[in-house]
Amino acid sequence: MKNITLGKQGLIVPAVGLGCMGMSEFYGEHNQKDNLSVLRRAVELGCTFWDTADMYGPFTNEELLGKALSGQRDKITLATKFGISRNQQGDWLGVNGHPDYVKSSCEASLKRLNTDYIDVYYQHRIDPKVPIEDTVGAMADLVKEGKVRYLGLSEVEPEQIKRAHKIHPISVLQTEYSLWSRDVEVNILPTIRELGIGFVAYSPMGRGFLSGTINQRADLQSGDWRLDNPRFQQEALEKNKALINEINVISVSKGVSSAQISLAWLLAQGQDIAMIPGTKHLPYLEQNWQSMAIQLSVEELGTLNELSHKHTVVGTRY
């Protein structure tokens, strides 16, 4: 297992964690019994950095983790998020960063997660109507009260990161990062490295595309949100397959999967980067975990960098 330290505040996590969103929503069918089996196996492996949010489900993903945490809480570094507001019926109510909402959201998450503290509490998205200083100020109060250990932000611009960090140290920034989403390398990574903030990559396999298992829209289940995503429209898929086809050449030569090559590439991008690939399947959990043992040569890393720049991804991230 490879542990890394995120941020100057000393948050230590395994480099490969577990994104739990798909266990409750967005990625087709899900089964609680199977999900709990995956979570139990994750503990056995040491994959103990778990990521959720109140809006996943909505609310049911936190409840799932609350069940899985029973008797295991001290082994898990638990991250959840607030800020994207939904009601019990799943309606989208917008983004909310008001201080009162921050605190009420935290209380609700603690109850659903069946715990008295959250290791990493993220602002899921910035509320343009509320100064980030006010939102982070309320988050800082939660740290003082012992309900939260570390603060994080998700999908935030450099200037907002700097403003937030002045109010209370931000330990982690979470944003999409993979071989087909490298925007963060321009301004985001330099900013957080200057400030001593760690990075958590979500969708490190390009929302599953870099696994090489999605060749056409028919490969996605009904209800999978990727069916509405620009990068997974059929014309885009056809063009984007050029990247995965070349990644496959490297994966075959090393006797591993293209997904593992993609994760190994990301692990090589810095000692301040962790990732949270999501899965509902035990074999994929174990493959993701094993990616930490894959060593890519300087030449292989160079080739992957060239490929990702050569094959411009068709379609926006959202």
Local confidence pLDDT in tens for the 318 residues of the chain: 789 999 999 999 999 999 999 999 989 888 999 999 999 999 999 999 999 999 999 999 999 999 999 999 999 999 999 999 999 999 999 999 999 999 999 999 999 999 999 999 999 999 999 999 999 999 999 999 999 999 999 999 999 999 999 999 999 999 999 999 999 999 999 999 999 999 999 999 999 999 999 989 999 998 899 999 999 999 999 999 999 999 999 999 999 999 999 999 999 999 999 999 999 999 999 999 999 999 999 999 999 999 999 999 999 999
- Cis upstream peptide for 230 (omega within 30°): no
Cβ neighbours of 135 (radius 10 Å):
24
Q: Which is catalytic among the residues 27, 56, 177, 202? A: 56
Q: What's the N-to-C CA distance of the chain in angstroms?
A: 33
Whether residue 150 lies in the annotated active site: no
pTM: predicted TM-score of the whole model, two decimal places:
0.96
- Give the containing element (helix H, strand E) for 77: strand 77-82
Cα–Cα distance measured from residue 305 to residue 268, given in angstroms and rounded to the nearest whole number: 11
Write down the architecture of domain 3-207+269-293 according to CATH: Alpha-Beta Barrel (3.20)
